[in-house]
Amino acid sequence: MSANVHSKSMTIKRSAEQAYALAERDGFALLDIVIDDRRLKALLDDDSCGAFVSFEGRVRNHNNASSVERLTYYGYEDLAINQGRQIIEEAKRKFAITHAIAIHRIGALDIGDVAVWVGVASAHRYPAFDACRWILDTVKAEIPVWKQEYYDNQPSKWLSNNG
């Protein structure tokens, strides 16, 4: 396996600044550096919102029985952004929420690093919980991001959310 065939999908085409601007406008972006949740939360601030729910998906030190050393996420950025925008639009139709942002990180990640972040602000609490969970599930099901886990005791593997 050559590293070169994947290297383009380990980084985003835009700058981080452009990615945050996209997240603010469309509610979705890929990033290839540490996700700044402070910055994302600030984008969701709204005095009319009494509820803010956020989810962070972090790289665990194990998956099933295997000990994970690190992993790499690869993304198809242009499709991810188009699909992510539609997911956020649909979330705003389905739930009584004010703002929502989801970010997926790509590239090489270490244990504990945040791979996906979802934040939702709403007037009341239940729609924020419901929408955050739905956005996360939908991102995991639909966004073209792939994951390769590296273990200490066996070859790396391509993972799949579909089992």
Q: Catalog residues that contact other proteins under the rule CB under 8 A.
A: 1-2, 4-6, 8-9, 57, 73-76, 78-79, 82-83, 104, 115-116, 125, 136, 139-148, 158-162
Q: Concatenate the DSSP letters of all residues of 1-19 into one string.
A: --SHHHHGGGS-SS-HHHH
Measured from the CB atom, the residue of 23 and 53 that comes closer to a second copy is 53
Rule CB under 8 A: is residue 43 a binding residue for a second copy? no
Assess contact for 64 and 121: CB atoms under 8 A. Answer: no
Residue type, 92: K
Contacted by 52, from other proteins, a second copy, none: CB < 5 to 8 Å by type: a second copy
Q: Is the dihedral of CA 93, 81, 61, 53 positive or negative?
A: negative
Per the CB < 8 A criterion, the answer to whether 127 and 68 are in contact is: no
Q: Judged by CB under 8 A, does residue 53 bind a second copy?
A: yes
User: Using the rule CB under 8 A, which residue among 80, 97, 103, 128 binds a second copy?
Assistant: 128
Nearer to other proteins, 44 or 145 (CB): 145
